Structure 1
């Protein structure tokens, strides 16, 4: 293996490590809001096994009072596993795609190629992690009102799903998940372009010429860039998240799914709830994901700096 190839593989491992650390930090801090969001998303007004929540604060208070900390952290283990794996794989695939596209372009990528890199990474991650997200969704929807025998944990959930519904059930919601690839593509394209603008702006004001971009940006910059790019992605792609959550619900006792497919979700939601139905739980989603994205990019960029510094010192 050449020195250049070895250096490239090390860079990819550093990106994966930084992404995984970012994903873990996000889930630990924001998981209760994720539970609230999921319950709002599937509550179409016709679900009998979910309590009625007035708003995000009321939902958190109600869950804490009736289900305790376990309720607020329902689905935490698959959430950690899925997020850590997803972000690790995402940054890894994203960086590999960027390197491949940049080979014949002197290292410079257009917004379109940033978009293609993010879309490619998102599609691969969706195929790898959909079963974990399905289990997380189902564990989050288990309440004291649940009529079906609850899953006792992540292992029991996988085992029960395979026994009762078959392997294909692990890929329920994969169609909106693949459409949600556009979420990451929009977010990362916005992040990269805003990052360039910020670096250029700070470079012009800096008294040190040709300064390393890593030294121009700080954690506050990463927080603002992460939150802003995430907001744009959420507003454009949120309906796909609602569709996925509704498709991933556990079937009733007779084994009949509440929604038979993506188009069925689209029709039923429009029929009974209108446009607002596609944005159920968006308040909790914004409260969770704007700061979560800030955390992700703060951790990612700083872990990456640490790994680079360690490598230089070896």
Structure 2
């Protein structure tokens, strides 16, 4: 990777294709993760991922599992493209004369990739979380009237991404879309620091020769293992980020002023185990997401597409 100039447009296309395929496959599990993480003591509707998905289908239909998918599918292309291309970019420029990167430099490249991606990740997840959690809030107000204000249950209309965006921009400006930016950085930077070096080293173990690429199934398995490991490692911060970015809550649910306040209230009211809510769902989301991403990425679909474009003659 370091012995030749990387093709940024190809990497962006690869990341985009990978993101679209991956999100389509695992989005219902991601919805269950968000709803499980947002549950607080006294307002529990779901006991597990399967219970959440079954109740979602019963109350909202099959497509209820894909609430917020349009936002994710729209923004996951630049998000995944930036993440993967930035890691390649930093690895390329941190390498010395084509020599193998040290572990520290691999982690530094991952840190750079995680920092770059939050430009898109924060507003994408801000909108996605509101849409994913709308069904939980509506069900809570219907089935658990004690969790609502004294006036009784209130009908909750499902917002659209555009409505949420307009309201946030009107009330808080661009900062409204970037609520939870600090928590997103605290999640995505460590995730990338863990994921990219772990993937690179696992993938290298499966190479048949010193120069040739690893078989696609090795890239897939390496992506799954590295992704699930990193996802579980940063799940406590993902819980904090999800709670901070959720705008609508039941009357018995805590609100938070920042990361420190969120940590303190979760520890006091729910205990340390609450930081692992949705961990297995997140692992099930991230494993295939990054496994698919790395297969698409290493197959070079972007390079294949660009090969059909006419080349400029300078």
TM-score by length of 1: 0.84
* Equivalent in the alignment of 1:173: 180
Q: What is the match of residue 206 of structure 1?
A: none
Distance in 1 between residues matched to 2:50 and 2:254, nearest whole Å: 30
2:30 is aligned with 1:23? no
2:206/2:215 contact within 8 Å kept = no
In structure 1, the residue matched to 2:80 is: 87
The one-character-per-residue Cα deviations of 1:106-148 (angstroms, maximum 9, x if unpaired) are: 3431111111111111111113331121001111000133658
Q: 1:300 and 1:259 mapped to 2: Cα distance? A: 39
For residues 301 and 197 of structure 2, the distance between their equivalents in structure 1, rounded to whole angstroms, comes to 19
Which residue number in structure 1 is paired with residue 130 of structure 2? 138
The 8 Å contact of residues 22 and 300 in structure 1, kept in 2 or not, is answered as: yes
Change (3 A) 1:309 1:260: closer
1:190 paired residue among 187, 198, 204: 198
In the TM superposition, what whole-angstrom CA distance separates every residue of 1:194-216 from its partner, at most 9, and x where no partner exists? 122222xx33xxxxxx6x422xx
Contact 1:78-1:136 within 8 A present in 2 as well: yes
Structure-1 separation of matches of 2:121 and 2:232: 23
Please say if 1:32 is aligned against 2:25. no
Question: Once the 2 structures are TM-superposed, how far is the Cα of residue 172 of structure 1 from its aligned partner?
Answer: 1.5
Change (3 A) 1:176 1:19: same
Aligned residues: 291
Residue 127 of structure 1 aligns with which residue? 119
1:210-229 → structure 2 map (5 Å cutoff): 212-214=211-213, 217-229=214-226
SS of corresponding position for 1:8: coil
The two structures have a TM-score, normalised by structure 2, of 0.84
Q: Deviations over 1:217-262 (max 9, x none)?
A: 22221121011111221221111110000000114699x9821111
CA contact (8 A) 2:219 2:294 kept: yes
Structure 2 gaps of 5+ residues are 142-153
Check the 8 A contact 1:82/1:133 in 2, yes or no.
Answer: no
Distance 1:240 1:150 in 2: 30
Match of 1:4 in 2: none
- 8 A Cα contact 2:11 2:85, kept in partner: yes
CA distance in 1, matches of 2:302, 2:181: 35
* Matched residue SS, 1:294: helix
Matches within 5 A, 1:45-194: 45-47=41-43, 52-102=45-95, 104-143=96-135, 144-145=138-139, 147=154, 150=157, 152-180=159-187, 181-194=189-202
Distance change (3 Å), C-alpha of 1:309 and 1:135 = closer
Name stretches of at least 5 consecutive residues in structure 1 with no aligned partner. 1-6, 204-209
